[in-house]
Structure 1
Amino acid sequence: MSQSSALSLALSQEELRATTEQLLEAPAEVVLAWVEQRFGARAAIASSFGVEDMVLIDLARTHAPSVRLFTLDTGRLPPETYEVMDVVRRRYGVEIETYFPERARVEALESAKGYFSFKQSVEARKECCGIRKVEPLRRALAGREAWVTGLRREQSVTRTEVQAVSADADHGLIKVNPLVRWSSKDVWAYVKANGVPYNALHDRGYPSIGCAPCTRAVKPYEDERAGRWWWESPENRECGLHVRR
């Protein structure tokens, strides 16, 4: 899909350029307010309930209350993630739209290749991510005009080029990253100042949290996503939801 055809669903090329420039250094609150005004319920926050996503959920309560919230349940998440999901439901009173992988595809994968095929090669890992994450994301985004994520440039070498507002040509909609310029220090300062709940694994050395078998704690000198698929080289550590590798 070309960039121009993707934008036909939401913004014109001219509006995207103007918005990108306008929001280039805008605070996250302003970016979210723009999403609310421009898209409302036609936009959704994609959340894995890591600390950045918790900040977005908290900010959206005030600045983008109409924006929907969804998550991808891969079937292999740690219990701490489910626990914080329940906290979100109780505290913010929001519905969490939950998307699961297709049962038949998971059954076929595990029957043929076992439970840990993702460690055999990058291609095998991407196959698993494709079934458990990428395909459910396509269903989650169907019919929407924009999605909002907690991506930050500081997170890893694969995310240094991320923009606050951009065209997502793969899905044919607009992608918004309000926290793109935030540092980890900024994120945690907001959490502490506002009493935002967060995944208990963050206190155990897990700055980035995904599926349980594919996530470990990081060492002090490692980047924030070093604990994701740690057996692979850093430039490959993306599941396909955000950065194509």
Structure 2
Amino acid sequence: MKLRNPSEKCLSDIAKKIESYSIEEKLKIISEIYPERVVFSTSFNIEDQLISHFILNGKIPIKIFTIDTGRIFKETYQVWSDTNKFYNYSISAYYPNTKKLEKFLSEKGPNSFYENVQNRIKCCFLRKVEPLKKALQGNAIWITGLRSEHSIERKNFHFLEWDSNYQLIKYHPLFNWKSDEIMKLIKKYNIPYNRLYNNGYLSIGCAPCTRSVQSGESYRSGRWWWEENSVKKECGLHLKNIRN
């Protein structure tokens, strides 16, 4: 059964209920409002690692999952493994539909995303969006590591909002945090993190589609760098996010 589109008042009530608490307490309260219907998606970037720490260290009953596109960095697999060991937890994994992906690769080839935007968006859809839809089924709140610092487009989002595409509430606990604030806590608590950050990577996705970022470049400039329009610096997971 799908959650009804909550009114602005509903979102406002939740926001007021959690506003004076720490991140850990906010996550705990949200898990109590929708028991067993709150999930967190991690791609093992630094904001995701900090949120995972809040959830796992605080033993908050929120399920953590990731989407394995099949083309992520070996360093990402390493931090995934390190995180499981560090917290004695097993992060759930979701994968693309094998038959659909086989058909796409047979018709277009393994690197067709470099050829045009349409192919890239289709690749992202098969490898990320479809598995995400499966992971979110039956849940009421989707917690993400989305931050306003990531891009101009994301500044227009809100820390708590309704997503009409997935028919649930999205909560971005670190929405207004800066990277240096996050990294400071990562190091303070010795939280496992992707070592690619030490080599100039900021937003880490699939290996063929991610490069390091040079001084003065925007946060997500390393993603799909061959595409000129910054509006296209999304894989489709957050494009239809709407605050009701």
After TM superposition, the score normalised by the length of structure 2 is: 0.91
For 2:231, the equivalent position in structure 1 comes to: 235
For residues 203-242 of structure 1, the aligned pairs below 5 Å read 203-232=198-227, 233-242=229-238
Residue identity over aligned pairs, in percent, reads: 37
Partners of 2:103 and 2:74 in 1: how far apart?
25
Measured after TM superposition, the shift of residue 132 of structure 1 is 0.5
Partners of 2:57 and 2:192 in 1: how far apart?
16
**Are 2:140 and 1:158 equivalent residues in the alignment?**
no
Measured after TM superposition, the shift of residue 36 of structure 1 is 2.2
For 2:69, the equivalent position in structure 1 comes to: 74
For residues 1-245 of structure 1, the aligned pairs below 5 Å read 7-8=3-4, 13-23=8-18, 27-63=22-58, 65-232=60-227, 233-244=229-240
Segments of 5+ residues of structure 2 without an aligned counterpart are none
8 Å Cα contact 2:150-2:219 kept in structure 1: yes
Measured after TM superposition, the shift of residue 41 of structure 1 is 2.6
Moved over 4 A (4+): 21-27
Segments of 5+ residues of structure 1 without an aligned counterpart are none
Partners of 2:134 and 2:151 in 1: how far apart?
27
Partners of 2:144 and 2:131 in 1: how far apart?
16
Task: Figure out how many residues of one structure are paired with residues of the other and give that number.
Answer: 240
Measured after TM superposition, the shift of residue 32 of structure 1 is 1.4
SS in 1 for 2:203: coil
8 Å Cα contact 1:35-1:64 kept in structure 2: no
Partners of 2:235 and 2:177 in 1: how far apart?
22
Structure 1 residues 112 and 25: alpha-carbon distance in aligned structure 2, compared to 1, 3 A threshold: farther
Partners of 1:156 and 1:165 in 2: how far apart?
18
* Root mean square deviation of aligned Cα: 2.0
Q: AA paired with 1:101?
A: P
After TM superposition, the score normalised by the length of structure 1 is: 0.91
